[in-house]
Amino acid sequence: MHTIRLATAEGTIKGTLSIDSEKKEIVSLFVGLLFRHQGVATYLIKEAELWAKAHNIKSLFATTLLSNKNTQRLFHKLGYTKLLKYEKQLGEK
């Protein structure tokens, strides 16, 4: 797992992104409420892409909820292709 963090000069974390290098997947992307719509997520994703290229990863995947339209638009804007994926939540039994 590789994690990228972006902080202010004062040390406040603006956002984080984690990559599972085995799955070639962005497994988490978080931007603090005060820092949204300021390019933080774009920066983190582009840094992740640079890291992936440096580690001979040829493609990255990311998963978002269907309701997370802002993140879907961002990935589309950055050149990601929407793929169809099915998931089943398994109960306790």
DSSP states of 19-73: EETTTTEEEEEEE-GGGTTTTHHHHHHHHHHHHHHHTT----EE---TT-HHHHH
The predicted pLDDT at position 26 comes to: 92
Radius of gyration of the chain (CA): 14
Domain ranges of the chain: 2-77
Which H or E run includes 13? strand 13-20
- Model pLDDT for residues 36-89, shown as the tens digit of each residue: 999 999 999 999 999 999 998 888 999 898 899 999 999 999 999 988 777 777
The predicted pLDDT at position 71 comes to: 92
Q: Which fold has domain 2-77?
A: Aminopeptidase (3.40.630)
